[in-house]
Amino acid sequence: MSPIPVKRTFELLHKWAGTVGHVPIIDLMAAGGDSPWKILVSTMLSARTKDSTTAKASMKLFSVADTPEKTAKLSVAKLEKLIYPVGFYKTKAQNLHELAKIVLEKYIGKVPGTVEELTTLPGVGIKTASLVYIKAFDGYDICVDTHVHRISNMWELVRTDTPEKTRIELKKVIPQKYWKEINQYIVTLGQTVCRPVKHECDKCPLSRICPASQI
């Protein structure tokens, strides 16, 4: 079977995304004009955590500290309490504390705006850096999480064994104009009709063109 046709896929996903009523938390924040700092922090909190839990923890944290200045003044123990029960909350609280200090001291309070600089920050891997670059700085990149890695391999767009390799290979086959939106569309697909354990192809907008369709 051939890889999924890219242009048609994005046309169908674009129409479908408007009807599904599910928008990932970071996309909602970006659309609402939240600051790069808040987008960075919520993206860090969202790792291995459900969107609904990330949203509640972010609200609780931002009601007390929504800037690097305010965050740096909080103890790690206080940060742990504010972000609980996100996954790995103890490690994330420690990283947040260090992150706030570094942003204040090295970047005079402003979140750096390149993927390279972002990945030097504590707790910020390539996936987080890429998403923050796209959502907070309107940059062009492809953010590859587990859904994007899994589904783009299923679509036969790439044949890769790590998200890092998927990011590099996807950039060769996806036109740049789609880079910013691919994460939102595929994450929404991966959290709804194309979950890892259950593919509801009968409800999927791509059932007629997907190489893995069970219809």
Q: Using CB under 6 A as the criterion, which residues of the chain lie in contact with ligand SF4 when the complex forms?
A: 193-194, 199-201, 204, 206-207, 210, 212-213
Residues 189/14, Cβ–Cβ less than 8 Å: no
- Say if residues 79 and 71 touch (Cβ distance below 8 Å): yes
Q: Smallest distance, Å, CB 207 to ligand SF4? A: 4
- The residue among 133 and 155 lying less far from ligand SF4, judged by its C-beta, is 155
- Main-chain phi, psi angles of 173, to 5 degrees: -115, -10
Least Cβ distance, residue 12 to ligand SF4 (angstroms): 10
Residue 134 CA to residue 127 CA, distance in Å, equals 11
| Residue 108 vs 215, nearer CB to ligand SF4 | 215
Comparison of 105 and 200: residue with beta carbon closer to ligand SF4: 200
User: Which two three-digit tokens encode residue 24?
Assistant: 């990932």
**What 8-state DSSP symbol labels residue 3?**
P
Q: Which residues pair with 194 in a beta bridge?
A: 199
CA-based R_g, the chain, Å: 18
Minimum distance, C-beta of residue 43 to ligand SF4, in the bound complex (Å): 25
Closest residue by Cα to residue 98 from 133, 71, 136:
71
Tokens of 23: 């928008």
CA–CA gap between residue 215 and residue 213 (Å, rounded): 5
- Judge whether 31 and 69 are in contact, CB under 8 Å: no
Which residue's structure tokens are 């890695």? 149
User: Minimum distance from CB of 154 to ligand SF4 (Å)?
Assistant: 6
Query: Between residues 55 and 154, which has the closer beta carbon with respect to ligand SF4?
Result: 154
| Residues shown for the chain | 215
Rounded to whole angstroms, the Cα distance separating 112 from 104 reads 11
Q: Rounded to the nearest whole angstrom, what is the least distance from the CB of residue 71 to ligand SF4 in the complex? A: 39
* For ligand SF4, the closer CB: 120 or 214: 214
Q: How far is the CB of 18 from ligand SF4 (least distance, A)?
A: 17
Closer to ligand SF4 by Cβ: residue 138 or 211: 211
